[in-house]
Structure 1
Amino acid sequence: MSYLLPHLHSGWAVDQAILAEEERLVIIRFGHDWDETCMQMDEVLAAVAETIKNFAVIYLVDITEINWALKDKQEFIDIVETVYRGARKGRGLVIAPKDYSTKYRY
C-alpha cells in the first residue's frame, strides 16, 4: 500500500515537507516499504489519508535513503539540548546547532 502515499527521498525533502505545512499536522512513517510491520502501518495510513486530509498530511520515508549515524557523543548532546530548550519555550521548530545540509549530503 506504500505506493498510494507520497514518499520523501532526502533529509531536505523531509525538512521542506514539515516547513511547508503551517496548518496541518505532518505524519511521517520512517521505515522500509518491504517490512511487514511497515506494510501493515501503510495500509492504515492509506485508509485514513483521505479522511484526515483537511488537518493532516502523511508521508513515507525509506530510512536507507536518508540514514546517517552520529559518531560524536557531544554532537548528539548538542542536538538534544537544542530541541529540549526550544520545546520548553513552546517552539515547534528549532535551529540545529550545526549545519547538516552539506556535511552528510542527504
Structure 2
Amino acid sequence: MGSIVLPHLKTGWHVDQAIMSEEERLVVIRFGQSAQKECMKQDEALYKIAERVKNFAVIYLCDIDEVPDFNAMYELYDVSAVMFFFRNKHMMCDFGTGNNNKMNWVLEDKQELIDIIETIYRGAKKGRGLVISPKDYSTRHRY
C-alpha cells in the first residue's frame, strides 16, 4: 500500500482551491503551528488515517504562521485546529466542547478520528451544516 504524504497548503489561494475544488469528499484541514510538538502529534495521527479515509475525505495541513489569511476569520489561535469543509461550505461539528467550528485539541486515537470524519461526511452528504460528534469530548482532559 503506497503511503500518502499529507499536502501542505502554502498560500491562502491554495487553501481556497483545496476547499473549492473537491466535489465529492470532505476536506479536512489541520491549521496550526507545524513546528510545535502538539501539532506534530496531530499531523502524525492524520497521516496514519489518510489512506483509510481517502475515499470520502482528503486531508491537508496549513501552517498559520506561514498562511495567516484565515486566522481572524476562523479564530485560529490554537497550536492545532482541525476544520472540515464540504462542497465549499464550512462544516460544523458539536463535540460537546462549546466550539462547533473546529476540533482545537490533539486527538491521537485513530479510530476516533476516522469516526469523526466519517460522521461529518455522512451529515454533509445529507445536507446538514452541523453534525453531532460520535463522542462527547466535554470531559476531555487538557494536558
Shift of 1:11: 0.7
Moved segments of 4+, more than 6 Å: none
Mind listing any 5+ residue stretches in structure 1 that lack a counterpart? 71-75, 77-90, 94-106
Amino acid at match of 1:58: I
Counterpart in the other structure of 1:18: 19
More helix per residue: 1
TM-score of the two chains, using structure 2 as the length reference: 0.45
Pairing 1:92–2:94 present:
no
Q: How big is the alpha-carbon RMSD for the aligned residues of Structure 1 and Structure 2?
A: 2.1
Deviations 1:11-41 (A, max 9, x none): 1100000111011000000112211111110
Q: Which residue of 2 aligns with 1:6?
A: 7
Partner secondary structure for residue 27 of structure 2: strand
Matched, 1:50 2:47: no
Matches within 5 A, 1:34-45: 34-45=35-46
1:30 aligns with 2:27: no
Counterpart of 2:41, as a letter, is Q
- The count of corresponding residues between Structure 1 and Structure 2 is 71
Cα distance, 1:65 vs. partner?
1.4
User: What code does the residue aligned with 1:21 have?
Assistant: E
Task: Find the aligned partners of 1:35 and 1:60 in 2 and give their Cα distance.
Answer: 13
- List alignment gaps of at least 5 residues for structure 2: 74-87, 91-143
| Bigger Cα Rg | 1
Shift of 1:92: 3.0
In 2, the alpha carbon distance for the partners of 1:61 and 1:9 equals 7
Paired residue secondary structure (2:59) = strand
Shift of 1:5: 1.1
TM-score by length of 1: 0.60
Which amino acid in 1 is paired with 2:7? P
Cα offsets for 1:45-71 (capped at 9, x unmatched): 00000000000000000111111576x
